[in-house]
Amino acid sequence: MRVVSLVPSLTEAVAATVPGVLVGATDWCERPAGLDVTRIGGTKNPRVDRIIALAPDLVIANEEENRAPDLDALRAAGVDVLVTEVRTVPQACAELDRVLTACEAPGRPRWLDEAEEAWTALPEPAVRRTAVVPVWRRPWMVLGRDTFAGDLLARLGVDHLYAAHPERYPRVPLEELRAAAPDLVVLPDEPYRFTAEDGPEAFPGLPCALVSGRHLTWYGPSLARAPRVLAGALAAARR
């Protein structure tokens, strides 16, 4: 089996479960550390010719992270492409199962069972809070409707204020974000790397939670620890 991954979180999931099947991955596929495969460009601008030259049995992609014209070009060249759609935790688990089965995993990995159990066992939050969740600045962009990260936060008692926006990642002026008066601001360290020195200063007077972007947006082995890691970061913002 020869697999090329165009999604960093799927790269980590496949490498952890079916070692040796990956022959190509994007430049952004940083996990696992030391992954020795051919790099085929970015998620939005993959080198289609380089992927085809690898003669993969399967390319794994995601409808949000990858562009349809690139996937169509691969299919036109006779490459089998599996495209995932991940908007909720249950959907993430189901899609991971589908990807790993397509990659000829010998069985369902323990980490996937642990991830499903961790999220299923979460108690109903005693208190719910509102938030804005920037994912970029210059311009400011936030979580909008129907996002995986939004579903994770909702399960932890945090309802982001743009969940009903027509766009999934709308651009919203900073003044409007402040005027929305959320209970807190959630600042992940990816795709934009918000830090204690870069982000909170834009929201004076509002509690800011600096969270792991990997645990908020990746679907893979990190899902098992995500409830504890994210809950800890959100709780720290209340102190």
**Which residues touch 53 (CB under 8 Å, ≥6 apart)?**
none
**What's residue 239's pLDDT?**
57
pTM for this prediction: 0.93
Task: Point out the residues of the chain with pLDDT beneath 70.
Answer: 239
Q: Which residues pair with 2 in a beta bridge?
A: none
- Answer for the pair 156, 230: CB distance below 8 angstroms, yes or no: yes
How many Å is the Cα radius of gyration of the chain?
A: 18
User: Tokens 């691969």, residue?
Assistant: 74
**Of the candidates 58, 56, 74, which has an alpha carbon nearest to the alpha carbon of residue 66?**
74
Measured between alpha carbons, how far is 238 from 37 in angstroms, rounded to an integer? 43
Question: Could you report how far apart the first and last alpha carbons of the chain are, in Å?
Answer: 50
**What's residue 45's pLDDT?**
95
**Of the candidates 64, 111, 100, 55, which has an alpha carbon nearest to the alpha carbon of residue 85?**
64
**Of the candidates 61, 64, 221, which has an alpha carbon nearest to the alpha carbon of residue 146?**
64
- Answer for the pair 49, 64: CB distance below 8 angstroms, yes or no: no
* Token pair of 223 as six digits: 């899902």
The alpha carbon torsion through 30, 35, 41, 42 (nearest 10 deg) reads -20
**Which residues touch 62 (CB under 8 Å, ≥6 apart)?**
6, 7, 10, 83, 84, 85, 86
- Answer for the pair 111, 224: CB distance below 8 angstroms, yes or no: yes
- Answer for the pair 86, 62: CB distance below 8 angstroms, yes or no: yes
**What's residue 32's pLDDT?**
94
Helix (H) or strand (E) holding 178: helix 174-179
